[in-house]
Amino acid sequence: MLKLLVRYLNLMVLTIFALVLLSFFLPFLFPGDTLTNISGIVAQSAEQRAALEGVYQLDKSVFHQFAFYIESLITGNWGISLSDRANLYDDIQLAFPATLELVAYALFVSIVIGIPLGFLSGLKNHNPADFSVVTFSIVGYSFPVFWLALIFITIFCLQLEWLPLSGRIDLLFDVPVNTGFILIDIALSDISNKYDAYLDALRHLILPTASVAIVTTALFIRFTRRSIMDVMKKDYIVAAKSRGFTQSQIFFKHAFKNALLPILPMLALQVSTLITNVMIIETIFSWPGVGRWLIQAIYQQDYPAIRIGMLIVSLFVMSLTITIEFITRAIDPARERAESATI
Amino acid sequence: MTKQRTSKTMLSIKARKGDKFALIKATFLACACLFVAACGKPAPHGVNAITFCSESNPASFNPQLDTSSTTADASAHQIYDRLLEFNPSDGRIEPSLASSYSVSEDGLTYTFQLRKDVSFHETDYFTPTRNFNADDVIFSIERWRNAAHPYHDVNGGFYPYFDSLRLDQRIKSVERINGYRVEITLFKPDSSFLANLATDFAVILSEEYAIKLMTEGRPAEIDRLPIGTGPYKFREFRQNQYIRFTRNENYFLPTTGPDQLVFDITSKASLRMAKLITGECDAVAFPSQSDLAVIEERTDLTLLEKPGLNVGFWAFNASKAPFDNPKVRTALALAVDKTSLLEAVYLGQATRAKSLVPSASWAYQSNARELGYNPVRARELLDEAGIPYDFSMDIWAMPVQRAYNPNALKMAQLIKSYLADVGVRVNIISYDWNIFRENLRLGLHDSVLIGWNADNGDPDNFYRPLLTCDAIPSGTNRAMWCNKQYDALIEQALLTDDFEARTQIYHQANALIFEQMPLMPIAHAFQYQAVRNDIGNMQINPYGGIRFDTVERIRRGDSQTFELSIQTQNENKDDDEDRN
């Protein structure tokens, strides 16, 4: 176990190092003035230029610069935006929880809907219920997320006018930012109309969550269905049947856990897809998350912001993937040998 | 569909599997209920509030520091008042914080009697101990007038509107006669002086607040956490997201405005339009030209329209080679077909600009000379000026929509294709609006697509800030073009009151602009604003920033009239009688 932990930590540290190294070189590869790309400031005079070079240690060797870069990453001194001079650390700190929030809801909805449906479909395979679930999952999986979101907006926001199309909550609710998670912030706030605020926040959540969750749900349905079908063919299930156990006893005692085990690593693989989709959805629904922020930065060629934004997002995806992978191994050490090279 | 099917299947599982699925079933039902509940009509918020979808971030909350209409919208008429005010319907100058004023026989001395019942905002960050008085007026004017004033250099020390008009050099003194009487003396008579005090930029700040900030060593906050006397108090600003205001309960004039005012910063015009339809915005700034027909068709929206006192243009940076050569500037202007720009970008909602002022102005010259489209001649001129084939230049396209240029990026792309025909390569550049203007002021651009919205009806308000030498450091002269002959003409035009004589002088200036081509005038556009029908009393203010003091919310959603809103109306009933 300890060996496993060390191995995964090692992998994580190495990947982080590679990512940091890559992002360190980005300003040199971006078009334009390297100093501006790093500092977010267009130097107006030779003195200012020299001073900035001094601050970012551009006059010293590459190793000094890299050391300084790592130091400023750790101390939260992430520089300022080229386009609006905002502190990047503060910006990301505000935007990131919003992204996490959407990821969490979409994942929750996908699990709650996808896994039971997958079981249902797998247990009852080749009957009408199974066919309709499979059809739904194929259709759901085939929709491009951005297109689905636009269709949702056209139908539910612009035609039927049922749901709002932008943001996390109506701005008239003056919810102070505490955690960055809107539902928690409402609970922590002292506004008078909390019930209305919750209802409004949920109304804002429905379309973005649904747009992301449909694809992920479809995937979970398919994974679960395949997994339970495999399990139900196993010898121990046949043995249990022959011993006269009821269908529900077999399912809960034997099939359920064994079918879930292979799903967890699949989840790890889907995390990056999920986050990519969330970032696209954020842009469409003006969700104030890191995806929308990053796309704005790209649009405005805000290189300091692009650099730090990409680093943070990739670090997040990478650590999440490795963590889930580690948990999977820890729960099911039997898989270790056979599939040790799945990452 | 999906929802229905899933909940049904879950129920059927439950029937067979017994209570083991109870938890999942309950969760599921809860989700389904939420979905259904949420699909109803918008829930009432229980607050009387208005959301205005604005197009960009204000640079600060002090319009003295900025001529951008985004800054003026967010502060000039919400947070502040002026001594005098333009009547939005007829443009007459009316007393505001000054209860009355008088001008001496020789036109040099202006005496203002001030209101005694005006208090400054009480907010989380400041509690005033005294009412508005003469000291606040003196502080507000001295801040931009007197370079030695302790607050002059706070937040940049540039006061573009006043600097471009050289107003600081026209005022001899600002004297306190008593606590509620101020006397301003000029060096020479200036018939536009009162109008300048009524523009968005001549706001009155709190001296008491300024002193407090100075003693606490953080004077820069005066423009970030503003204190004024206006109908709304500043509450919170988040870049690219929103600005919140709350109603000033102690405002000295009757208002019908909401308790909360929110500016939802939405930079995309299409998104503002969509939010207007869903009711997330009650009013939007700068609806896109292509959406105007949609707005007019819908029964729940109203389109407000006014011919704008504005001009959109393409300015060349005359302080930079090779754009310091009039031949190059003329060649570039010749290479572009203005007609197609008008059709593609303004969709016919604008008139062709021949020179700076629109036809609504008395100084308009219908027979002003203008360049036609002639790429062959353009290339000849470029060759004469020694511009090689494949010469590369920047066009800065402003990132926000304005009436005078609803889509600068599209226009830049069109110009790019035209210039490619004459062998000039174009890079299109765009920054965040505030950085954009700051870099323009520093002259980092080759050329820029931008424009000007007049602050009062006088043609001087076009000719002087746009092209005089004095307007270069203040950043309103985007062409960075300085011509002594032009400056002399503009100065001469102000010395007489005779419209005929002034018109003649402005025509000479037009000829000079044509010859030198520091900028290519493109269009004078209509001004639009779209509002939902449950907002009453919304008007386009032709003299600057948007106003919400007399705007009122009638109802929101189906037929839910707000108790709060009724209360407010009742409270103000006496005051409102003459308005209704």
Which residues in A lie closer than 8 A to residue B31 (C-beta atoms)?
A: 109, 112
pLDDT at B142: 93
**pLDDT tens column, A269-315:** 788 888 889 989 998 898 888 998 898 888 877 888 899 999 999 99
Cα B63 off chain centre by: 10
**pLDDT tens column, B530-570:** 999 888 888 888 777 888 888 888 754 443 444 333 333 33
pLDDT at A254: 79
Q: Name which residue leads in pLDDT, B204 or A324.
A: B204
Which residues in B lie closer than 8 A to residue A153 (C-beta atoms)?
A: 274
Contact with chain A for residue B282, Cβ under 8 A: no
Per-residue pLDDT, averaged over B500-522, amounts to: 91
Which residues in A lie closer than 8 A to residue B156 (C-beta atoms)?
A: none
pLDDT at A336: 52
**pLDDT tens column, B125-183:** 999 999 999 999 999 999 999 989 999 998 888 888 888 888 888 899 999 999 999 99
ipTM for the complex shown: 0.78
pLDDT score of A158 more than 50 = yes
pLDDT at B131: 92
Interface contact flag, A200 B49, Cβ < 8 Å: no
Which residues in A lie closer than 8 A to residue B24 (C-beta atoms)?
A: 112, 116
Interface contact flag, B45 A286, Cβ < 8 Å: no
Shortest Cα–Cα distance, A197 to chain B (Å) = 8
CA distances from A10 to A1, A272, A319, A325, B323 (A): 14, 21, 12, 14, 58
Per-residue pLDDT, averaged over A302-331, amounts to: 86
* φ, ψ for residue B531, nearest 5 deg: -135, 155
**pLDDT tens column, B386-429:** 999 989 999 999 888 888 888 899 999 999 999 999 999 999 98
**pLDDT tens column, A234-271:** 888 888 888 888 888 888 877 888 888 788 777 777 88
Nearest by CB to residue B264, choosing from A82, A83, A171, is A171
Q: Considering only A54-58, B29-33, B106-110, B421-425, which range has the smallest mean pLDDT?
A: B29-33
- Closest Cα partner for B296 from B276, B310, B267? B276
Domain borders along chain A are 33-73, 93-342
Interface contact flag, A116 B13, Cβ < 8 Å: yes
Per-residue pLDDT, averaged over B516-526, amounts to: 91
**pLDDT tens column, B246-271:** 999 999 988 888 888 999 998 888 88
Contact with chain A for residue B104, Cβ under 8 A: no
Q: Name which residue leads in pLDDT, B99 or A36.
A: B99
pLDDT at B565: 37
Interface test with B, best of A45, A166, A204 (most B CBs within 10 A): A166
Minimum Cα–Cα distance from B263: chain A residue: A171
pLDDT score of B43 more than 70 = no
- As a whole number of angstroms, the distance between CA B316 and CA B339 comes to 20
pLDDT at B394: 92
pLDDT at B329: 93
Contact with chain A for residue B45, Cβ under 8 A: yes
Nearest by CB to residue B278, choosing from A157, A174, A206, is A157
Per-residue pLDDT, averaged over A168-176, amounts to: 82
Grouping H, G, I as helix, E, B as strand and the rest as coil, residue A220 is helix
Percent of chain A with pLDDT over 70: 97
pLDDT at B16: 41
Residue A193 pLDDT class (50, 70, 90 cuts): confident
Which residues in A lie closer than 8 A to residue B432 (C-beta atoms)?
A: 83-84, 300
Minimum Cα–Cα distance from B37: chain A residue: A199
Q: Considering only A102-106, B430-434, B464-468, which range has the smallest mean pLDDT?
A: B430-434
Percent of chain B with pLDDT over 70: 87
Angle value at C-alpha A96, between A95 and A99, nearest 5 degrees: 95
Q: Name which residue leads in pLDDT, A104 or B434.
A: A104
- Closest Cα partner for B81 from B213, B229, B235? B229
pLDDT at B232: 94
- As a whole number of angstroms, the distance between CA B36 and CA B39 comes to 5
- As a whole number of angstroms, the distance between CA B112 and CA B177 comes to 10
Contact with chain A for residue B48, Cβ under 8 A: no
Nearest by CB to residue A286, choosing from B6, B271, B431, is B271
pLDDT score of B191 more than 60 = yes
pLDDT score of B474 more than 90 = no
Q: Considering only A137-141, B25-29, B146-150, which range has the smallest mean pLDDT?
A: B25-29
pLDDT at A130: 86
Contacts of A315 (CB under 8 A, 6+ apart): A16, A19
**Interface size between A and B, measured as CB pairs under 8 A:** 114
Per-residue pLDDT, averaged over B219-241, amounts to: 91
**CATH no. of A93-342:** 1.10.3720.10
Contacts of A169 (CB under 8 A, 6+ apart): A175, A182, A186, A197, A200, A201, A204
pLDDT at B46: 59
Residue A343 pLDDT class (50, 70, 90 cuts): very low
Nearest by CB to residue B9, choosing from A129, A163, A193, is A129
**pLDDT tens column, A72-82:** 888 888 888 87
**pLDDT tens column, B490-500:** 888 877 767 78
Mean pLDDT taken over chain A: 84
pLDDT at B139: 94
Residue B188, exposed/middle/buried by CB under 10 A (0-12, 13-18, 19+)?
exposed
pLDDT at A317: 87
Minimum Cα–Cα distance from A41: chain B residue: B435
Contact with chain A for residue B246, Cβ under 8 A: no
Residue B572 pLDDT class (50, 70, 90 cuts): very low
Shortest Cα–Cα distance, A214 to chain B (Å) = 10
pLDDT at A141: 86
Q: Considering only A195-199, A253-257, B141-145, B318-322, which range has the smallest mean pLDDT?
A: A253-257
Interface contact flag, A171 B57, Cβ < 8 Å: no
pLDDT score of B24 more than 60 = no
- As a whole number of angstroms, the distance between CA A53 and CA A35 comes to 7
Which of the given ranges, B34-38, B84-88, B446-450, has the highest pLDDT on average? B446-450
pLDDT at B30: 46
Cis amide linkage into residue B322, ω under 30° from 0: yes
**pLDDT tens column, B95-124:** 999 999 998 888 889 999 999 999 999 999
Alpha helices, H only, chain A: 2-29, 34-39, 46-55, 62-74, 88-123, 128-142, 145-152, 182-188, 194-232, 235-242, 247-250, 256-260, 263-284, 290-299, 303-331, 335-338
Contact with chain A for residue B47, Cβ under 8 A: yes
pLDDT score of B92 more than 90 = no
